[in-house]
Chain A
Amino acid sequence: MRRISPKITQALAVTLLGAATLLTVIVLVFIIVFVLAKGLPGVTWEFLSSVPKDMGKAGGILPTLAGTVLLPLFAIAIALPLGVGTAVYLTEYTRETRFTRALRFGTDCLAGIPSIIFGLFGFIFFVVMLKMGWCLLSGALTLAIMVLPTIIRTSEEAIRAVPNAYREVSFSLGATRWETVLKVILPNALPGIVTGVMLGIGRSIGETAAVIFTAGSSLRMPMSVFDSVRTMSVHFYILAREGISNENAYATAAVLIITVLVVNLAAYGLMHRFIAKRSK
């Protein structure tokens, strides 16, 4: 048996690997183009600014826009201090010990838990046990726990990327550790922290399973944090799954995809500028 020449295997490998990569990119582009092509014609100002009629068969998506803005906002407001605080503690206030390893392990495990489990937990803990009912606050608390690992990790990386010289200068000027954290480290790590926030917002906007069992799916405009809300993702899911209106489902999906892409692009843009600035 003759060995196949390395040149041929090389050409073969490059072709196959390249084809696989191309396929991945094509699938991505197809998904986005398909949804936008089907959905964008239905996205009018009226669609965005009017309330749904007939369970969403007609009318617009205004209350779900409110839900999509409010829910991630509250979730981040809860998760941000916890996440950044954890990151500051892990980087500035302690050395690697068994305790910090346990904290990191907990964070990593939390990141791997599927959203339906968050939904179950949020339902039994916030909705049933704390008697909050299906509401904005229950949903926001559940989402906050879900995005916490993302915020901890990105903040930790951002804080670690602040050069040690900055800390030394600050200490040599007589600043305490806390003053150094507040006035030197956090401002310098800010773009990295904002990246984590944007990724968290992106994930919250796209989330369905954890939201539908904690924030409910009321189509009314939320007036307080104890009102049930419906986000665009949940609205889209209900429209599509119950076959209420494919046309409105596509239009909602188009708005949803554009929102998520803009948020994620902003996050990546910030991250790359941050990395470029640091590596100078």
Chain B
Amino acid sequence: MTQDTCTDVVVVGAGPAGMTTASCLAESGVRALLLDEHTAPGGQVYRSVEKVTDKRPADLNVLGSHYRSGSKAVERLHSSGAQYWPGTSVWEISAAEEPALAVGVVRDGRARMIQAGHIVLATGAMERPTPFPGWTLPGVMTVGAAQTLLKSSGLVPEGRIAVAGSGPLLYLYISQLIKAGKKPQVILDTRPRASLQTKLSVLAALTVDPASMFRGLGWMREVRREIRVRERVHRLRASGVEKLSSISYESCDRQFTDEVDLLLVHDGVIPNTWLAMSAGCRHHWNVQQRCWVPDITGAGQTSRQSVSVVGDAAGIIGADASVLHGEAVACEVAACLEGKQPGVVGNAAHPLLAWQHRTLRRCLDQFYPPAQEFELPPDDETVVCRCEEVTAGEIRRVAALGCVGPNQGKAFTRCGMGPCMGRKCGVTVSRLIAEHHGLSMHEVGHYRIRPPVKPINVGQLADLETDADAHTD
């Protein structure tokens, strides 16, 4: 076994949580290996921050001070002594029943196994699926996708643009776009009329974390001043031949049709749980955030002894809280490796800040509820599984046949059997089945996630060498 196929801790994901966890571990003398599929650190929130700082500093003004602050975590990573492998994707974590804990990766086109004492999953968040008729057309993308293009390549959308959905990221991106010299034609706000509870939660968050709230409300105000907003949007539909050419929707009892070249959608973010689920970690449905979240004890310990999760992957907390969480989880993991009980200090790091973040998060969840029609697409023709092109109607049909869970639904319709493995359809499929049978999401459950969680070819797996081979070759 060579030196570089074995380490104390493997951390997956180089966003703020992963970078901080790896840095913290390395600084305390633990051998930490940080893996990330991108070619540079930063995750999504700080995507390409090194490159932008170096080569396109003018863009820092567009992207904002919060983005700029991402350099801190990157600098810490580089000076911490943690090993860092970019361009490395993780396709599996060995099953709990197997004797040795290992991570299967693909790097430079080759598959290999890395043995570790502990794994920390910092796989971050992904945008909540937003199915509606026509969402698979070229020309429909997520707001996050457009923001990634702005950060990583300085690209700005052309032509007539509509932005639909809700959430802080939506307003942040549009404010960045305005600074970059481009205004969308229209914003389609899918939120229902704000309830009293929502308004109260805003007040609560204002007192608890005024800085973040003012920043967020500032983006919204700025954006709404400059761009037409349609309220309480529903029945969104995208149309076009070969690519998007128009959208239609209802707003305040009126019907609209707009010609657009690009439709950006966003309906909040949810934890990227695929690797944790494939590792057999138990998850539960978080009713407030409307997403699957790993069962966690302590700072980040999952139901599987040698696997921890950190940052947004453990439940949406945002970039700043992810850094704090990274430090707490690093302490917990380090103690675990030494066979010690994690100290109270580790778990209770910065308790006031953590409480502030939680309260802010609750307010955001209240203020930006997921759109009802994206969760439960009313039109049977809406494609729910993008990869296998399975419609909402088809899912409803097999639910009526007796499917009480998404795995039977998968067996009967092929939904979830495509390359994305249910990332874009899993929540919707479970929702549709739950609705038909009057069950809770917890009772319905989620897809059984199996390896490979990221692409690997037959030949790459066939060529995989393990320790057993090393002795016979």
A, B from the same assembly: no
Binding site for A on B (CB under 8 A): none
